[in-house]
Structures are given as structure tokens and as C-alpha cells.
Structure 1
Amino acid sequence: MTMADKSANPSALDISDDELSQLLSQAKKDLTCLETEKKKKKEKDSTSKNKGRERSIPSLSVPLRLDDGNMSEDSRLISIDSETGMARIDVDNMYKTTSNLSQKSSITAEIEGKNAHPDPTIKRMTAGEALKQREKTAGKNWFGIKAPTMTPEIKNDLRVLQLRNVLDPKRFYKKSSSKELPKYFEIGTIIEGPTEFYSSRLTKKQRQNNLVDELLADKQSRDYFKRKVGEIHARNYSGGKAWYQKATGGNAKNKYKGVQKHSHQFKRK
């Protein structure tokens, strides 16, 4: 330091060597502290980056999705840790799946053995038997309606239903297109509701076994049938022999022949 510097900065002359050494040591400590803090920050940043990379790796290799029950056995063995994000293999489930696979293989082997060696006591149906079995019902499209055994009462009821357009004069029914009786049908009874107890309920005496008996038990229907049958007979037999006999009170020739026979018998006696 020159004399000119000392004259320009007179306060510098007051600092001793010990104070300068203390100041230098304090500056060195501050520098070391700053360097250590910078190193710690760098280490923290590097560790956080590494953790982010480690978490992103399993998402690429193993898709994160919910178990919907349709996952394969291999995917169910893999579980992902929520904290680290790493994939792990469940050893317990692995042993369970292997045991299930062994059971399935044994079951399939038994089934294949049964198919290879069928039971001789079980008889397979022939084509004719299968056809008869199918003809017992109308099929799935018709809700499996069965073909009941035909009895005379059921036949009469079906014929009455075919002629329903003639039975009731005050109600119109479409005429049946086919004359053959149906093969598949169901018979049931109508159950009246609680509000129809007095209006449309039949008593035990009024209830009949079939439709024909119900029609014959009704007086109005009987009178109507009798009148219609008389009209049909009058229309069919008009101008014929029976109609002529009924109109004239009998045939004159037949009466004369009868008188001649009686007269001949009287003379012989």
C-alpha cells in the first residue's frame, strides 16, 4: 500500500491483521455454507427426477386399469404398489391359480373320458323318436304349447268354437278358414275378479263341464237354435217329397193303395 492510498483511505489504517484474518475466515465459512446448500438442492432435484422416472416406467409396461372380472390369470397375479408405483407378483395367488388349473385339467380329462367311453345304459334317440318328441309341442316360438289327447268332449268343444259365428246372433265372429281341428291348444278357466262377484259369476249349478253343456243349459240359446234349425230344414226341404206331404196332408196315391190292400184282405176273409 502506497502513501497516496493511505492518505486517500484513512480508515484502512485502523484495521489490524487479526481482524483481517477473522474476516477472511468468516468469508470462507459463508462460501462453504453456500456450496453445501447448493449441493443439497441439486441432490433433492436429482432424487425427485429419478422417482418420477421410476413411476413412469411401470405405467408403460403394465397398464393401470380396474379389474372388471374379465382379466386373465396372469394379469391378476401382478399388483402395483401405490407408494412406489412398482409392479409386484402375488405369490399366494400364483399358487392358487396353479391349483385351479390342475383341477380344471382333471375335470376336462374326466369329461373327455366320458365322451370317449359313453355309458352303454343310456340309449340315444333315433330320428323318428326325436321327431315324435318335437311334435309333442308347438315349439319355442309358440311357448311350448302341448298337443293334448283328443277326447269326444274336447272335439265337440272345438267344433262349437269353429261355429261360434252362428251361435250368437248379436255378436260378429270371423269365420274359421280351416275345417280341420287344431292340434296344439290349451284349455283353461276364466277366474272372475272380486268386483264381478254378483254381476258375472256363475253358481255351482250353472257351471258345466264343457261348452256344449253350457249352451244346452241356456234357455235363450236353445230357443234360438231350435228356430234356426227349423228355418234351415224349411229351406232345404222346400219343393221336395217331404215338404209336399206335409203341405197336402199326405199323398193320395199312397192312401188309395192302402185302401185297396185293406179291401182285398176283407174280400178274402
Structure 2
Amino acid sequence: MGEVKSLFGADDAELSQLLSQAKQDLARNAAPTTTQAPTDRVALTVPFRLATSDRPLLQLDPQTGTARIDPTARHTPLDTNAQPVDPTVRRKSPSELAREKDQTAGKRWFGMAAPVLTPELKNNLRVLQLRNVLDPKRFYKKDGALKKMPKYFEMGTVVEGPTEFYSGRMTRKERKSNLVDELLADKGARDYFKRKVGEIHAHNESGGKNWYRARMGGGKGKGGNGKGGSGKGGDRGGKHGDRG
């Protein structure tokens, strides 16, 4: 018989050769291989133009060679994030804007508003203007700005520090709603005001008709002084008695 052929058309020698080659390939693949460390590479790219949006607004027509605006690229991402304008809001006129600007003192004064001048607020400002005569033990520099009513101002409360707890603190009973009530509640201040008002009236009336009448004993005229009439009559009676 000739050489024995396998079912696949190869003899035993070829099969053994193929098996040995496959074993060598498996052993080569299973052996550890040394891997090289990857090197970092930085790619420097310089853009040819500034990207204003994701899509360019201009589109080149290949047929005519002219550039035209792309209608689909008009809305940029900034436009999509912007709040829509309410069409029902009316634009303010220059006079209205000037009136709103005149209602505050501006950013330099932190938007201090012009308050509504109520009678109570006017009295408090008047007390501040006359503060130099309220306390005889304190001297205040004359301020010409307080002669007229200010337009922008705010009223506040002075908070005493911990070191002035007994010296500069007012009790809850002494605290009032405004300056005028606090002054009227102070008996010492009322007595001082009454005395100063009397001195001012006496100074203003000195040299006048009422002051002269008070100095002369309250007489009202020539015949009103009874002392003068009785004195003259007594003198006349004495003279007649001497003659008789």
C-alpha cells in the first residue's frame, strides 16, 4: 500500500509539523513582553480666525462665488440665553426717567431716597436745627445747611456701645417715638426751655411801652397814679392851713 493519507488530505508528518508550529506560536504569545512608556505629545494648533459661534454667519455660494448670510446661523448661543423682551412693557419717556432719577441721591449716596415730609418729621428736623440751644452744656458748630429743609435724608437710632451702658444709655421708659416727645418728657429740659423763653421775652420787650409801665408801677396815665394826686392835694391843704 502507498502512504496512508488522513481524512483531510495530509499525512501524519505534515500534521505533526503543524502541531509543533502551533505550540511555538502559543509559547511566543504567552511570554511577557516589555512595553514602552507612552510619551506625552502636545499638539500646537493655531486657529486661522476667531470663532464667534458654532457656525459661521457667512456662507460662500459655489456657483456665483459670492458670500451671503446664512439665515440658519443668525441666532448665536448668546442670543438663545438672553431673556425675551416683553412687548407689553412701555418704554419710559425722558421726563419719567428724570423724575425717577430725582427721587434718589444717586449711587454715591447708596440710593438715599427723598422721604415724604410729614409734620412729625418736620418737627424732628426743627429740633435738630435748634440743637445748640437745647443743651446748655454742649456747643455745636453752626451749620448753614440746616437752615433749609434737606431733600434727601434718613432718620436713624444711635446704638450705644458696651462702655456707655450707664453713662450714655436711655432706659426703655425714657425712650420715645421721636425727639420732640423725648424733650417734652424731660422735666429738666422743660424747666430750662421755660427759663430761656422768659429771658428772651424780657430782652425783646426792654425799652418798650409795657416795660416802661412795669417800671413805673403799673400806671396807665396822668390821672391813673393815685399817689401823685393825693400828694398834691395834701400839699395844697397844708399851705392853706398856714395861711389861715
- TM-score, normalising length: structure 1: 0.52
Q: Is the 8 A contact 2:213 2:220 kept in 1?
A: no
2:119 maps to 1:152: yes
Equivalent residue for 2:88, pick from 113, 121, 125: 121
Secondary structure at the aligned position of 1:141 is classed as helix
- Tell me the equivalent position of 2:152: 184
> If each structure's helix is expressed as a fraction of its own residues, which one has the higher value?
1
- Tell me the equivalent position of 1:142: 109
Take 1:124 and 1:98, find their aligned partners in 2: how far apart are those partners? 34
| Structure 1 residue 84: Cα displacement | 4.8
| C-alpha distance after superposition, 1:159-187 (max 9, x if no partner) | 11111122222211111214211111111
Equivalent residue for 1:208, pick from 176, 191, 194: 176
Take 2:222 and 2:74, find their aligned partners in 1: how far apart are those partners? 101
After TM superposition, list the pairs within 5 Å mapping 1:52-131 onto structure 2.
83-84=40-41, 86-87=43-44, 98=54, 105=76, 107-108=78-79, 119-131=86-98
| Structure 1 residue 85: Cα displacement | 5.4
Number of residue-to-residue matches in the alignment: 164
Q: Is the 8 A contact 1:148 1:185 kept in 2?
A: yes
Gap change, CA 1:110 and 1:204, over 3 Å in 2:
closer
| Structure 1 residue 241: Cα displacement | 1.8
Gaps of 5+ in 2: 1-37, 47-52, 58-72, 225-244
| C-alpha distance after superposition, 1:32-66 (max 9, x if no partner) | xxxxxxxxxxxxxxxxxxxxxxxxxxxxxxxxxxx
Give the aligned CA root-mean-square deviation in angstroms: 3.4
Q: Is the 8 A contact 1:162 1:175 kept in 2?
A: no
2:122 maps to 1:166: no
Secondary structure at the aligned position of 2:221 is classed as helix
| Structure 1 residue 156: Cα displacement | 0.8
- Tell me the equivalent position of 1:241: 209
Gap change, CA 1:98 and 1:251, over 3 Å in 2:
same
- The percentage of counterpart residues that share the same residue type is 55
Gaps of 5+ in 1: 1-80, 90-96, 257-269
| C-alpha distance after superposition, 1:112-150 (max 9, x if no partner) | 9x6xxx644111112221122111111111121111111
2:187 maps to 1:231: no
| Structure 1 residue 195: Cα displacement | 4.7
